[in-house]
Amino acid sequence: RKEVEQDPGPFNVPEGATVAFNCTYSNSASQSFFWYRQDCRKEPKLLMSVYSSGNEDGRFTAQLNRASQYISLLIRDSKLSDSATYLCVVNGQAGTALIFGKGTTLSVSS
Amino acid sequence: GEEVAQTPKHLVRGEGQKAKLYCAPIKGHSYVFWYQQVLKNEFKFLISFQNENVFDETGMPKERFSAKCLPNSPCSLEIQATKLEDSAVYFCASSQSPGNIQYFGAGTRLSVL
């Protein structure tokens, strides 16, 4: 079983749509959780950290369920500029490497 | 600096040649990480440093790969005798302290012909 699993997509949605990405992780000892965004093989950029209490940043909402080892990302009112690959990322013990999912590709069209 | 700086952007090597990649972390960040991204978005962790000390090298191939972070110099990742399968984008990331967010450089695209 992969340490971090994501549906690769692609998700093709029209502008204005709401889209949800899911991710599961295998190591119950994982401590930190993130969504990164990667455009066209450029560097990954942090989209948001993910907390059990859930967190929201504008059109983006992330949620962590530790019991189910499940992470989600919701994007509301999709924009063309949201087209990218979204990487679910888990950090194990503090200071150790990030473990990446394979990424979910989103394509938003007009 | 304010961002992780990686050089060169692109590197082309013939099989068997040496490749050396450089990374300057964000000023004030003590931790440096190297990742390899091959096709299909697979990121593989290679090695991390705390200042000039190796922190975690569990991802480093046993042969041909080496890395250093020396005081007052960019960190480096060196591949001796490159192979076709070494073709990838190599990303460097830095963080302020353990468990903090890692910020990535723009990567070095290595093509081995």
Q: Chain B closest CA to A26's CA: distance in Å?
A: 17
The pLDDT assigned to A1 comes to: 66
Query: Does residue A92 carry a pLDDT above 90?
Result: no
The pLDDT assigned to B40 comes to: 66
- Band of the pLDDT at A9, cuts 50, 70, 90? confident
- In chain B, the residue whose alpha carbon lies closest to the alpha carbon of A43 is B106
* Close Cβ partners of B82 (under 8 Å, ≥ 6 residues apart): B13, B14, B15, B16, B17, B18, B19, B64, B110, B112
Query: Does residue A51 carry a pLDDT above 90?
Result: no
Q: Do A97 and B45 touch (CB under 8 A)?
A: yes
Q: Do A99 and B105 touch (CB under 8 A)?
A: no
Torsion region of B9: left, alpha or beta (phi above 0 gives left; psi -120 to 50 gives alpha)? alpha
The pLDDT assigned to B97 comes to: 82
The pLDDT assigned to A58 comes to: 96
The pLDDT assigned to A93 comes to: 64
The pLDDT assigned to A59 comes to: 97
Q: What is the largest CA-CA distance in chain A?
A: 42
- What SS3 class is residue B39? helix
E strand or H helix that includes residue B20: strand B19-24
Query: Does residue A40 carry a pLDDT above 90?
Result: no
pLDDT digits (tens, 9 = 90+) for B19-74: 999 999 999 999 999 999 997 678 999 999 999 999 999 899 989 999 999 998 99
Pick B98's closest partner by Cβ from A34, A38, A95: A95
Q: Which of A98, A102, A104, A106 to mutate to test the interface with B (most CBs of B within 10 A)?
A: A98
As a whole number, mean pLDDT of residues A63-90 equals 96
The pLDDT assigned to A53 comes to: 86
* Close Cβ partners of B24 (under 8 Å, ≥ 6 residues apart): B1, B4, B5, B6, B74, B75
Q: Do A98 and B102 touch (CB under 8 A)?
A: yes
Residues A36 and A47 sit within 8 Å (Cβ to Cβ)? yes
Query: Does residue B99 carry a pLDDT above 90?
Result: no
Residue of B24 and A54 predicted with greater confidence: B24
